[in-house]
Amino acid sequence: MTGETAYCFAADLGGTKLAAAIADARGSIVAELTEPTDPRGAAYVAEQIAACADKLGQTVGIDVTQPRHVMVGIPGAIEPRTGRISLIPNIAGLEDFDILGFLRGRFGPDVAIENDVNLAMLGEHAFGCASRCRNAAFLSLGTGAGLGLLIDDKLFRGARGMAGEIADLPIGRDPTSQIPASGGSFELEVGSFAIVDRYRRQGGTAAATVRDIFRLLEQGDEVAASVLDTTARWVALAVVTLQSLLDLELIVFGGSIGVRSELYERVQRDLPALVSRPIAIAPSQLGDRAGLIGAAWAAGQALR
């Protein structure tokens, strides 16, 4: 790659890790890297993103001050008109930090930010298992729950960029019980903290993280199996909910928990009893790179 060639810079910012890539003008990744997200919060994270661009530039031998387009995935909802970010639980200070302004200061005007799960949806649509779909969703399950939606071949963001913020789907608590004081039912059942908490409540002791629970499951731990059964049941009900609302062709499972076959296969097993019409679900083909690949692709699209 020479300094003359048009290129893009893409990043996928998560609560625990930051992935970044240089892509060519078609949005195909040329070089990429991943590092732990700077825990000190928004301003440091923004600097870290810019530093990633420099490092990648050195790797491929170009000066990354003027990429033709920059696309950064953000783990929150972005108001389409104002660019204001909300619903970010895991990066301190990002809601009040003008990350778009910062990035434009560094890279020039052609910078965009997009919800990270939306970008994962685009990644799967462009290069993954949803490549033939016009109506699909990317269901991300990890620390929290999020959804990227493709409707009639286009990303669907909702009136204020909050479409797919499914943390408070009314799924999980007994629906005939008292009205919960606030939302958040679904995430309170399937978020990673909820899963670990469920494991402890059911008498398990040795797990500190969901990863531990998956390891225990492999060793034949019955509590771990039961906890995943319960979690999968709630996820299956979310799938039924999405299907009845939007009549999708495919729901892609992603995120650190969503991609695990131990969960995905349980959901698959539960679905036939819950619906009269079949629902296609599939694990993410691009795995934890879906967001970054989607960001690079979207940056390439912006050059067209």
Partner 1 sequence: MPSRPTNSGTRQLSQRSVFEALLHGSPISRAELAKVTGLSKQTTSEVIDAFEQQGLVRPIGRTSGNVGRTAVLYELSPEGGHVLGIDLGAQRLTVALADIAGRVLAEADEPTDSRGGVWAIDQIARLSDRLARDNHTHPSRIRCIVLATPGVVNPKSGAIEMSPNIAGLGNLNVVGLLGERLGTPVVLENDINLALLGEIWHGCAQNVENVAFLALGSGVGLGLYVNGRLVRGENGAAGEIGYLPIGGDPLQAGSRLQGCLEYQVGATGVMRRYREAGGSNVDSVRQVFERAQEGDPHAVEVVAETARLTALAATAVIATVNPQLLVLGGSVGARADFADTVARILLQLSPRPVEIRTSSLGRRAGVVGALSVALRRLHDEFFGVAELAAALPLPPPARRSARQ
Q: Interaction with partner 1 in 262-291: which residues (CB under 8 A)?
A: 273-277
- β-pair partners for 249: none
Count of positions (residues) in the chain: 304
* Rg of the chain (C-alpha set): 20
The one segment of 4-12, 39-47, 112-120, 147-155 that binds partner 1 by CB under 8 A: 147-155
**CB-nearer residue toward partner 1: 226 or 241:** 241
- Give yes or no for residue 144 binding partner 1 (CB under 8 A): no
Cβ(296)–Cβ(70) under 8 Å?
A: no
Q: Which is nearer to partner 1, 148 or 204 (CB)?
A: 148
Q: Distances from the Cα of 1 to the Cαs of 58, 59, 91, 198, 241, in angstroms?
A: 11, 10, 34, 51, 47
> Which secondary structure element, helix H or strand E, spans residue 122, and what is its range?
helix 116-127
Site string for partner 1, 187-206 (x = CB under 8 A): --------------------
**Smallest separation (angstroms) from partner 1 to the CB of 77:** 8
Nearest approach in angstroms of CB 170 to partner 1 is: 4
How far apart CA 278 and CA 272 sit, in angstroms, is 7
For the chain, strand residue ranges (E) read 7-13, 17-24, 29-36, 69-74, 77-78, 85-86, 111-115, 136-141, 145-151, 154-155, 250-254, 281-283
Indicate the angle between helix axes 222-246 and 210-218, nearest 10 degrees.
Answer: 120
Minimum separation from the CB atom of position 210 to partner 1 (A):
23
Nearer to partner 1, 47 or 168 (CB): 168
The residue from 65, 90, 244, 261 that contacts partner 1 (CB under 8 A) is 244
- If one asks whether residue 152 binds partner 1 (CB under 8 A), the answer comes out as yes
Of positions 53, 147, 257, 259, contacts partner 1 by CB under 8 A? 147
> CA–CA separation, 230 vs 263, rounded Å?
10
* Among the residue ranges 7-15, 103-111, 218-226, 233-241, the one whose residues contact partner 1 (CB under 8 A): 233-241
Nearer Cβ to partner 1, position 158 or 287? 158
* CB closer to partner 1, 101 vs 158: 158
* 141/147 with CB nearer partner 1: 147
Candidate list 68, 106, 125, 157; residue touching partner 1; CB under 8 A: 157
Closest alpha carbon to 27 in 264, 222, 304, 301: 301
Q: Among residues 94, 73, 129, which one has the least CA distance to residue 280?
A: 129
Contact call for residue 164 and partner 1 (CB under 8 A): yes
> What is the spatial distance between Cα 200 and Cα 188, in angstroms, rounded to a whole number?
15
Mark the segment that binds partner 1 (CB under 8 A) among 56-64, 121-129, 218-226, 240-248: 240-248
Q: Is 183 among the residues that bind partner 1 (CB under 8 A)?
A: yes
* Binding status of residue 304 toward partner 1 by CB under 8 A: no
Q: What is the binding site for partner 1 (CB under 8 A)?
A: 134-135, 147, 149, 151-152, 156-171, 175-176, 179-183, 237, 240-249, 273-277
